[in-house]
Structure 1
Amino acid sequence: MRGYIFDLDGTVYLGDRLIEGAAEAIQTLKERGDKVVFLSNKPIATRQSYVQKLTKMGIPTDLREILNSSLIVARYLQKRLKTGEKVYVIGEEPIKEELREHGITPLDAYDTSIPDYVVLSWDREFNYDKLNRLYQAAVRGAFIIASNPDCTCPLEDGQLPDTGTFIAALESATGKPIDIVIGKPSPISAMAAVEQIGLDCRDCVMVGDRLDTDIKMAYNTGMQSVLVLTGVGTREAAVASPYPPDHILSSIKDIIYL
């Protein structure tokens, strides 16, 4: 038995288009007794929406098979947060909803008090006021938690700027790195995935399209890794990468042959 950890955007689908052969490959893995979870850095969708999307695409999915950066951030904060400490979120409703489901109430947008923690996430309404509030919190000692480091998110017709662009803006302003990144390639995400599967890292395979998140996480934690060429990563970049994948496949459909 092996555990397969699948990225979603660029690996299983692109936007609303399923990668050819993805449904059949994942079904084959499950039928032969392997375990499957989906691990996404994307914080602008709920886990429930992933279940609905995958199931509609022909990949029947249970909520327990979905892990995303929003959930892992919520679990991380739940363990750290002390009574009375405040959390400000730069992000969209799905990550705020996940925090509330874990008993964490983000500060209201009109509450100008300095937070103890800032969750920095993908926010398609990011503006100067939010950047300034983020900066002011950081220089006053707030602990900055980024949901994910991705600079872009792949779509069927191109890419969009992601959380990594906001991280770069803050680090440029403060002159120092943020405190922690929760999403891939963080070992926090790796441990969340293997615990969900119930196997050790060495028995798990990370399948994704990004060298700097998916493959790097696998490389650093002793997982096997598979780079698929349906998203951001390329064969040329993989050859030159300090985190080389164990396998390179044209798409997810060939995963059953490894």
Structure 2
Amino acid sequence: MNEALKLILSKELIILDGDGTLYIGSKSLPGAREFVRFLDKSRKGFVVMTNNSSFSKEHHIKRLGRVLGRRFSEDEVFISTEAAIEYLREINVRRVYALGTPEFIQDLVRSGITHDPESPEVVVIAFDKTLTYGKLVRAVRHIMNGTPYVVVNPDVLCPTDRGYIPDAGSIWALIRTATGKEPMAVMGKPSNLFLNYMLRRLGVKPSDAVIIGDRLYTDIAMANENGIDSILVLTGETKAEDLVNSRYRPTFVVNTLIDLLK
């Protein structure tokens, strides 16, 4: 048994990234199905923790089921939208203007947060695949007039079946350049807010978890900043050469999930 697998089996909770780790678009990545089956057979608790805020939680659950051939429960999938909602509730925000997809906005409304394009308390920057110039103009004007903003997830790119596309981090870069202003908070990985929300829900300590993901600045950064062991897989955004100058250090590095089972 390899050392990375020994680490996994010693932990109470395995935290798996989605895009770039388990799947890209509608296709599972090498070893993803086998690895999930192994965790189930070994009776290891695991969750999928994704920064992808363009889809609702229900959408993510259904997609995981199709891609990995397994049913997922509500407590096995956590998305950055949940962290954003938790944060907005904590600071008592009830009205926002969001750069987000209809599914994202629907999740906000379901949680009791009003989508108010005219007089928001906060502007919310999410992974908006329906982004238009008009939406950007409205967001920039609100922020320039003093409305604070938050970023749902910092990912610069999202992998798809057809290649990479700009994610929320890229939209944030545009907003920051246009306004010269920084956000109140950045949710999603590597945010402690996202991690603590999930661990509280599941009743697990950070030391009892391991994070497996493909991004240094989100997955591995969250692990490093919270004293959690981590495994980097090279099936997504990060390449082996990126490790040379990175300040984030995974406990182990593998090419694909199937390598964990060798």
User: Taking structure 2 as the reference length, what is the TM-score of the superposition?
Assistant: 0.90
Determine the structure 1 residue equivalent to 2:77: 66
**Structure 1 spans left out of the alignment, 5+ residues:** none
- Give the structure 2 partner of residue 89 of structure 1: 98
Unpaired stretches in structure 2, ≥5 consecutive residues: 1-10
- Percent identity of equivalent pairs: 31
Equivalent in 203, 213, 233 of residue 208 of structure 1 = 213
- Counterpart of 2:3 in structure 1 is none
**Does the CA contact (< 8 Å) of 1:29 and 1:256 recur in 2?**
no
Partner of 2:124: helix, strand, or coil?
A: strand
Q: 2: distance between equivalents of 1:240 and 1:2?
A: 32
Q: Which residue of 1 aligns with 2:182?
A: 177
Report the residue type matching 2:30 in the other structure: E
Q: Distance in 2 between matches of 1:6 and 1:196?
A: 16
Return the TM-score normalized by structure 1: 0.91
- Note if contact 1:185-1:213 (Cα within 8 Å) is conserved in structure 2: yes
Residues 90-120 of structure 1: per-residue CA shift (max 9 Å, x gap): 110121111122111211xxx5x33111111
How many residues align structurally? 251
Equivalent position of 1:3 in the other structure: 13
Cα distance change on mapping 1:167 and 1:199 into 2, 3 Å? same
SS across alignment from 1:240: coil
TM-aligned CA deviation for residue 209 of structure 1: 0.6
Letter in 2 for 1:63: E
Provide runs of 4+ in structure 1 moved above 6 Å: none
1:223 shift after superposition: 0.9
Give the Cα–Cα distance (whole angstroms) in 1 for the partners of residues 193 and 72 of structure 2: 23
Q: Distance in 2 between matches of 1:223 and 1:253?
A: 22
Partner of 1:242: 247
Contact 1:35 1:197 in 2 (8 A): no
Partners of 1:227 and 1:156 lie apart in 2 by: 21
Deviation at 1:256, TM superposition (A): 4.9
Counterpart Cα distance in 1 of 2:65 and 2:131: 31
Partner of 2:50: 40
1:104 is aligned to: 113
